[in-house]
Structure 1
Amino acid sequence: MTTAPPSALLVGLDRQLPDLTALYRDLHAQPELSHQEFRTAGVVAARLRAQGWQVTEGVGGTGVVGVLTNGDGPVVLLRADMDALPVREETGLPYASTATGTDPDGNEVPVMHACGHDLHVTCLLGACGQLAGHRHAWRGTVVAVFQPAEEDCGAPAMVADGFLDRFPRPDVCLAQHAAPAPVGIVGTRPGTVMAASDALAVRLFGRGGHGSTPAATVDPVVMASAVVMRLQTVVAREVPADQLAVLTVGSIHAGTRENVIADTADLRISVRSATPAVRGRLLSAIRRIVHAEAAASGAPKEPEITALAEFPVTVNDPEATETVLGAFRATLASPSVIALPQPLTGSEDFGAFGAALGAPSVYWIFGALDPAAFGDADLSADGVPAEIPHNHSPRFAPVPDPAIGLGVRHLLTAATPWLAPGVHPAPGGHTARPPRTVDRSHGRGLPPSGA
């Protein structure tokens, strides 16, 4: 198998970039929430059909799948996610979003592509255009997956919608994610690459009344405050320091007026872990603390804890990851290719495809921000500076040039070892590995991406 740069597949990419940049700005300005990506899906489907792909819409809700067969050979799945977040944009960009949407609770919320999914869609459409326009340069089948609701378990929904029976079974599944790092950096690792995630809703019950007579009430705001503060001790005091664990209370709501003590308070909690043991410890601690604080406050009713979503750890197949890293090293200068030393604390549902389809998966991150913003920061030693906007920030602003072109190149480079003419999959779905090289770069401190 060759790991040479996919030069033939890149011919004409520069001419495509102005159109891709316009597409990116359009998608960024008109974001859509999870499960509501109707316009985005329509744009994707129309572009794929114009390129000559066989297109299926409505997969798992609003998902779009394109299939392009080009002779005998391996099947490669390339995936991009399409949904945006309920965030009010503060980038100041001329194409900044002013959109609003309706969340699952019926509330009108601002909407922003604060996680780079608009960039992912643009890059995959660009890669699809190159594959369709240069069929002489590759052999096999490509399954392009434009997934809804990555922030809300859209991949399992696509799998449950008969993905296995409706589309070619892949020999490898590939995906990438924009990261708050300088453009030009690309990083991944074999094994666990992203943490598991659990999302929980907690409702605390009090006894409402007048703000002037708190002694006649059980105040759920005070109860919720005690829960939030106590939860901050779980990672610091109950999880070993060498284990990945994050516990975040991202939402707290109670009451309607300053002089009314409410009956209930609602919390939304995000939990990240890399092992079943740590996950179990975190979830058990949350249940213990929530119930104990409710009892200590004299709550008239037991609290309710509801599981909202669960993302398993994202696992990169070691052999396939080595193949992709070899292709990246052959294309990029070695300092730009980073071997991540530990799993990222962000989470993903991309692994659902490989797990359900029995195919190896490789997931990588790539820098999407202006290098000038980082100054002289040493990312390998100190990580990304705190002032740099991370994913999910209202100020997260990828630079389309050159991030789009690099994102397209990364997808094509990663796929080339399987799609190069004459390559055939080895037993177990892998292709023969390229010669191993040693990566002496570091990735300490790179931030999370994904859900």
Structure 2
Amino acid sequence: MFARVSGLALAAALIGSAAQAAPSTAQVAAAAKAVQPKVVAWRRDIHEHPELGNQEVRTAALVAKELRALGFEVREGVGRTGVVGVLKGGKPGKVVALRADMDALPVEEKTGLPFASKVTAPWEGKTLPVMHACGHDTHVAMLLGAATVLAGMKAQIPGTVVVLFQPAEEGSQAGEEGGALLMIRDGALDHPKVDAIFGLHIGPGEAHALNYRAGGFYAGSDRLTITVKGKQTHGARPWAGVDMASVAADIVQAFNQLSARQVDVGASPTVLTVATINMGVRNNIIPEDLTMTGTLRTFNAERRAEVIDKVQKTVAAIGERYGAKAQAVFTQPYPVTRNDLALSAWIKPVLEQASPGKVDDQAALVTGAEDFSRYGEKVPAVFIQLGGRPASVPAATAPANHSPYFDVDEAVFETGVKAEVLLALDYLAKK
């Protein structure tokens, strides 16, 4: 009888020990597969109900509800509409964060999906159609999936996992604050103190592919606003005023020449884009005012300063030549997204567990920008791309992020969930 009791006690001890062991890759994979239907459902719901930056009220409420049901400590209203969830593991250890952005874009959806957006919302004085054209709906859904998997392994986690659901990554409306900077200011990295953070972004790359690079990865960006004050006149008498269309055309052409001929294109990539030109209300009236907006993308502080100086001087000179007053102002700066060298050095084998044979740690520079860079200014950070292009779509014609046709293969969500969970667990285990 004694031997039998001892055997039962030993078996119980072994089971208890196994239960407390670090989760295996197979366990993570099985849990990610199990939660995949919920991830797809979350994504489709969020996609059908998109919200612009600093307006993510419905999305934030959904996130908070799901996190509370999983047993996370939840803080709402962080950085306006952001949500922070905290999961304390069963063992002491470091604190790792995972981040997803929640905001959509003022884009009219043309995907034809059964859950396509029909939403409109106010943006900078206009009511516009809204769409998740950059995949933030998938980011939220995948991070909720990762939170679900991690909650199921809580007792085995050696440390704490913080999940950040951030508003306004695409930038807030003119005159507003928002995004990562405001989340940080509201203590998103401080309660508890985060030791490292990982982020993931979906795009039109090969499905299930994961890529990143150490050091500078995504460009820094600045919002460009050009204002020109001239003299209104009849469309039949342009010489009696300032021809704003010619001013706008000269500025655009000057920018194209500036970014291709006035800076060393081999030393560092530079993109200078004019995206909007607003002037006039009638076909035969040359207006008094012209406004142009665009974006600047650079990869180092020296190039940024150089181009800003050239742009401001060029715009002022063109205005003066036409007898107008013109100025260029740069706002909403995002720093270059830099992947921490030490973290980047060990994550490839971790990502290989999530997507075997499809990990590239020498990814090309990305001229897109990300305010995830703000977290990297405070704590070690790594940002990763996940390919989501459906197999039926050729790479050459795949709609890019911000396209009204942007869509992804939902099967890749399972890969994204695995990647986020494994990165968090491996970091905590190593630390």
Q: Deviation digits for residues 45-102 of structure 1, max 9, x if unmatched?
A: 0110111100000001000000010130121100000001111111111111111110
**2:109 pairs with 71, 81, 89, which one?**
89
Verify the 8 A CA contact 1:249 1:267 in the aligned structure 2: yes
Specify the SS of the correspondent of 1:46.
helix
CA distance in 1 between counterparts of 2:356 and 2:272 reads: 37
Verify the 8 A CA contact 1:232 1:247 in the aligned structure 2: yes
Verify the 8 A CA contact 1:90 1:394 in the aligned structure 2: yes
Specify the SS of the correspondent of 1:18.
helix
Structure 1 residues 318 and 4 mapped into 2: Cα distance closer, same or farther (>3 Å)? farther
The one-letter amino acid paired with 1:98 is: K
The one-letter amino acid paired with 1:195 is: A
Residue in structure 2 matched with residue 413 of structure 1 by the alignment? 422
**2:98 pairs with 60, 78, 93, which one?**
78
Specify the SS of the correspondent of 1:248.
strand
Verify the 8 A CA contact 1:9 1:137 in the aligned structure 2: no
Pairing 1:142-157 to 2, within 5 Å after superposition:
142-152=161-171, 154-157=179-182
* 2:343 aligned with 1:320: yes
Moved more, 343-352 or 411-420: 411-420
Residue in structure 2 matched with residue 20 of structure 1 by the alignment? 39
The one-letter amino acid paired with 1:310 is: P
Residue in structure 1 matched with residue 404 of structure 2 by the alignment? 394
What displacement does 1:164 show? 4.5
* 2:334 aligned with 1:311: yes
Verify the 8 A CA contact 1:3 1:326 in the aligned structure 2: no
Q: Pairwise CA RMSD of aligned residues?
A: 1.8
Answer with 1 or 2: which has the greater Rg.
2
**1:267 pairs with 292, 310, 332, which one?**
292
What displacement does 1:212 show? 2.4
Verify the 8 A CA contact 2:211 2:363 in the aligned structure 1: no
Residue in structure 1 matched with residue 360 of structure 2 by the alignment? 338
Q: Deviation digits for residues 212-239 of structure 1, max 9, x if unmatched?
A: 2222221222211110111111121012
Q: Deviation digits for residues 273-301 of structure 1, max 9, x if unmatched?
A: 111121122111211211111111111xx
Residue in structure 2 matched with residue 276 of structure 1 by the alignment? 301
CA distance in 1 between counterparts of 2:242 and 2:144 reads: 55
**1:49 pairs with 48, 59, 68, which one?**
68
Residue in structure 2 matched with residue 58 of structure 1 by the alignment? 77
Specify the SS of the correspondent of 2:392.
helix
CA distance in 2 between counterparts of 1:30 and 1:176 reads: 22
Structure 1 residues 225 and 17 mapped into 2: Cα distance closer, same or farther (>3 Å)? same
* 2:199 aligned with 1:175: yes
CA distance in 2 between counterparts of 1:5 and 1:118 reads: 28
Moved more, 143-152 or 17-26: 17-26
Identity of aligned residues (%): 37
Specify the SS of the correspondent of 1:258.
coil
Moved more, 310-319 or 9-18: 9-18
CA distance in 2 between counterparts of 1:278 and 1:371 reads: 38
Residue in structure 2 matched with residue 110 of structure 1 by the alignment? 129
Specify the SS of the correspondent of 2:377.
helix
Verify the 8 A CA contact 1:80 1:124 in the aligned structure 2: yes
CA distance in 1 between counterparts of 2:36 and 2:98 reads: 20
Specify the SS of the correspondent of 1:372.
coil
CA distance in 2 between counterparts of 1:351 and 1:193 reads: 10
What are structure 1's unaligned runs of at least 5 residues?
375-383, 426-451
CA distance in 2 between counterparts of 1:164 and 1:129 reads: 21
CA distance in 2 between counterparts of 1:10 and 1:73 reads: 23
Moved more, 206-215 or 318-327: 206-215
* 2:249 aligned with 1:239: no
Verify the 8 A CA contact 2:88 2:160 in the aligned structure 1: yes
Residue in structure 1 matched with residue 143 of structure 2 by the alignment? 124
What displacement does 1:11 show? 3.1
What displacement does 1:331 show? 4.1
Q: TM-score, normalised by structure 2?
A: 0.90
What displacement does 1:134 show? 1.9
Verify the 8 A CA contact 2:339 2:376 in the aligned structure 1: no
* 2:168 aligned with 1:159: no
Structure 1 residues 200 and 4 mapped into 2: Cα distance closer, same or farther (>3 Å)? same
Number of equivalences: 403
Moved more, 404-413 or 302-311: 302-311
What displacement does 1:4 show? 9.4
What displacement does 1:329 show? 2.4
Structure 1 residues 46 and 331 mapped into 2: Cα distance closer, same or farther (>3 Å)? closer
Structure 1 residues 142 and 4 mapped into 2: Cα distance closer, same or farther (>3 Å)? closer
Residue in structure 1 matched with residue 175 of structure 2 by the alignment? none
The one-letter amino acid paired with 1:373 is: V
Q: Deviation digits for residues 196-226 of structure 1, max 9, x if unmatched?
A: 1111111111211222222222122221111
What displacement does 1:324 show? 1.4
CA distance in 2 between counterparts of 1:4 and 1:322 reads: 22
Structure 1 residues 217 and 128 mapped into 2: Cα distance closer, same or farther (>3 Å)? same
What displacement does 1:3 show? 11
CA distance in 2 between counterparts of 1:252 and 1:122 reads: 36
**1:404 pairs with 383, 407, 413, which one?**
413
Verify the 8 A CA contact 2:231 2:242 in the aligned structure 1: yes
CA distance in 2 between counterparts of 1:219 and 1:31 reads: 40
Moved more, 88-97 or 320-329: 320-329
The one-letter amino acid paired with 1:395 is: Y
Specify the SS of the correspondent of 1:284.
helix
CA distance in 2 between counterparts of 1:147 and 1:164 reads: 12
Q: TM-score, normalised by structure 1?
A: 0.86
